[in-house]
Structure 1
């Protein structure tokens, strides 16, 4: 794929991981979409391409026709316009996504040659892609009255299933067989969920009044399972963590996570068997306690505009709701 005035874009591949990891190390990112594990895992759904232009990493989602916020030293408004115009000259939109407020503020302050951001772009909040970020300590301790229900559900799980077992795997002791076993179970749970119509995110006294958007949820489950299967290919290649909870030798919950930046981990997947009371709260809590050793924050990704997901994430009272902005050409 060639973009006029910029050059050739390569399809994202694990072979290029050192380039991405180097940029993300030098220029830490908070949005979960700017995470190598997510980019590789979701590449089976989205057509991601990338290049280095003027010492910035530029990622392009061909499926949505959006350019990601360039990774590196901030571009000037003139440079952003040049990149956008280059895409437009190649019969593409020239639109950007995943801009944060600081980057936008920097562009607005420059106001070079009496040019303003609003003259060329519509600035649009992408609330469905807002990232839910929490203090790790809060999720690990669950202190205070507002977490009383969650502590109660965890206590019930501990009483009913005292002989549960927790296994923590990372690159040093990774086992792809266990990861694949988790994927197989996720497929089984999704099928059972589709049959019963039970919503795992609002189960077990968290909320009984939400209206279900079954068609959106079903589509999301299918996509997520596809991505989860694809992510198996990168488990040993990247520094990915996996926590498994078992009872009677059966996996009943698991979580998958990775480093987002020096202070933050991102939880990519969190799945559980809804037949075990309190298990959603337990896997969340155990994962948070493990991550507390290294990270100040946990990014639990976005809600994709799904009401049930939004409720589940809000029920843990996010400390930061990180909203990305799209820059859409006028």
Structure 2
């Protein structure tokens, strides 16, 4: 039976070995994301041949597996899915795979010859942007964004600062203030996000992502963190700002892309979770593509 264990910070090297071979396109498949959300999703993992198997057993939802992580061959995929299938059968769980990448669907269709139900998980589709678009904000489609940014730079003295270990406490303070305004403790999803952000921030040195802050009139008011997802795409894990300051979100977005990701083709700004306001905000930046994900339910 598949031997699984909990994710901890010292597993980064193991995950990175498989993830590098996998060349992921979706925001979930990087160690920072898996680590920071590990407690909310109750992640467990194990190694099978050339693949890493990742399973979620959340408290308030059905267990599910991710697609196997690693270099894809037919043989390696079959071996991993055999183990995952047997594990779910032993636990008497319905076999479900979530966040499956589009280019992996044919592997599942060939393996499960008796049939599977495949559904598009739109709420978890990632928003993919050209980094040059987010940096330059050119043209009519970015007119409002440019106006907000210009208003910020005109009305405030600001400083862009690269994230270092001695500034983590400032990021934590901004994150806590953001949560306090939204009464995070009364909303499960926001509370889980708060905890996930704290996990990422307090493990900055070991996770080795990039980050930045913006100081406004002498006080740090915004921060963001991200890292390379694959060779041509960066993923933004966290972006928090004082939303009483007009244009600050526009500024931290634009400045981080310009100062850190200008040589990266794409920026993945993750999903909208079906939240109407978040969807509107992400669409307003004119993504070049939605990175689709799928749920596979086995019959």
TM-score (norm 2): 0.91
Alignment of 1:9-24 (within 5 A): 9-24=4-19
2:98 corresponds in structure 1 to: 97
Determine the C-alpha separation between the residues in 1 that align with 2:6 and 2:183.
34
1:244 corresponds in structure 2 to: 213
1:180 corresponds in structure 2 to: 169
Q: Is the 8 A contact 1:239 1:259 kept in 2?
A: no
Q: Is the 8 A contact 2:127 2:287 kept in 1?
A: yes
Shift of 1:194: 4.7
Determine the C-alpha separation between the residues in 1 that align with 2:202 and 2:4.
23
Determine the C-alpha separation between the residues in 2 that align with 1:256 and 1:85.
38
CA deviation profile, 1:187-239 (whole Å, cap 9, x unmatched): 113323459xxxxxxxxxxxxxxxxxxx8xx4432221111112123210022
Shift of 1:93: 2.4
Determine the C-alpha separation between the residues in 2 that align with 1:293 and 1:83.
40
Determine the C-alpha separation between the residues in 2 that align with 1:33 and 1:220.
17
Count of equivalent residues: 292
Give RMSD over aligned pairs.
2.1
1:166 corresponds in structure 2 to: 160
Q: Is the 8 A contact 1:265 1:291 kept in 2?
A: no
Shift of 1:82: 5.6
Q: Which moved more, 1:247-256 or 1:98-107?
A: 98-107
TM-score (norm 1): 0.83
1:67 corresponds in structure 2 to: 65
Gapped regions of structure 1 (runs ≥ 5): 196-214
* SS class of match (1:304): coil
Determine the C-alpha separation between the residues in 2 that align with 1:146 and 1:310.
17
Shift of 1:136: 0.8
1:84 corresponds in structure 2 to: 85
Q: Is the 8 A contact 1:41 1:230 kept in 2?
A: yes
Gapped regions of structure 2 (runs ≥ 5): none
Shift of 1:74: 4.2
Determine the C-alpha separation between the residues in 1 that align with 2:55 and 2:44.
5
From the superposition, tell whether residues 75 and 183 of structure 1 become closer, same or farther in structure 2 (CA, over 3 Å): farther
Determine the C-alpha separation between the residues in 1 that align with 2:239 and 2:273.
15
2:133 corresponds in structure 1 to: 138
The structure with the larger Rg is: 1
1:52 aligned residue (47, 57, 70)? 47
1:327 equivalent to 2:293? Answer no
Determine the C-alpha separation between the residues in 2 that align with 1:223 and 1:238.
19
From the superposition, tell whether residues 75 and 94 of structure 1 become closer, same or farther in structure 2 (CA, over 3 Å): farther
From the superposition, tell whether residues 309 and 75 of structure 1 become closer, same or farther in structure 2 (CA, over 3 Å): farther
Determine the C-alpha separation between the residues in 1 that align with 2:240 and 2:87.
42
